[in-house]
Structure 1
């Protein structure tokens, strides 16, 4: 058994990438693992240095929790900006179901507050898992294919996403207005 030098996770022999922190391990001859910070920065995009520090702290402490203020305040918008489209859709559907099905305002507010808090607490873990999956995929590619993959999966605001967010807001507003009669 080997240990990851970054997060001290026990690893089977010949494991190329740590499943916990997503970093490449030393080669078979014991040479140092290549520095993957550039690749992590390319996958993360803006504020990569902050996220890398948080991910490394979480991996070293073996904890899935870490506070993310942007995830707390912006939830689905933060997820969509970071390229977590499925998670953003699930968050939106869950928040919508709470709003539509829970008629008591106090219960609805409490459930939404719980959803916000859970998103703030586990947002970094959700994002770290997605970044590690993207890194694993990017490391299987070479040259132009790798660059195209990183460019295609780079987080950030896209015109299509902005259009879909506005469209979703209009649809939800119409549904809410129609159900309030």
Structure 2
């Protein structure tokens, strides 16, 4: 890094600017945002999952479990205890500038539908897939039952046989 041309000080040309915090738009800004958010979540009793470090979990039994999914600056909070969820949102809002969009209907291109009476949840990428098909001018293509070639033979030899093999996939 070098001094900005308008701020060059005579006799101190070898010195550079020291940023006190990351600035939005700089290459390190997303990393600094994640580090700040991560330390906040860990400090408040959440733990990162091993499979995805943007998934935070708090609690050990299902009734108390709260899961927070983070993608850049979007998050989805799930759990059975609405009091705990509202408390987490309030705490997050104190530290981070947030906007509560209410019950999730879309995230990361997925549509979320619920049937609370029957305790059912659907996730759908239909609109996203249609948008991709339109972008590549394939929205009028013929549908196919199976995208595999007709000569392709499935074999039980290639499927995981044990729990350990299933976890390795």
Normalising by the residue count of structure 1, what TM-score does the alignment of the two structures yield?
0.19
Larger helix percent: 1
Structure showing greater relative contact order (alpha-carbon pairs closer than 8 Å, 6 or more residues apart): 1
Larger strand percent: 2
Q: Which has the larger radius of gyration?
A: 2
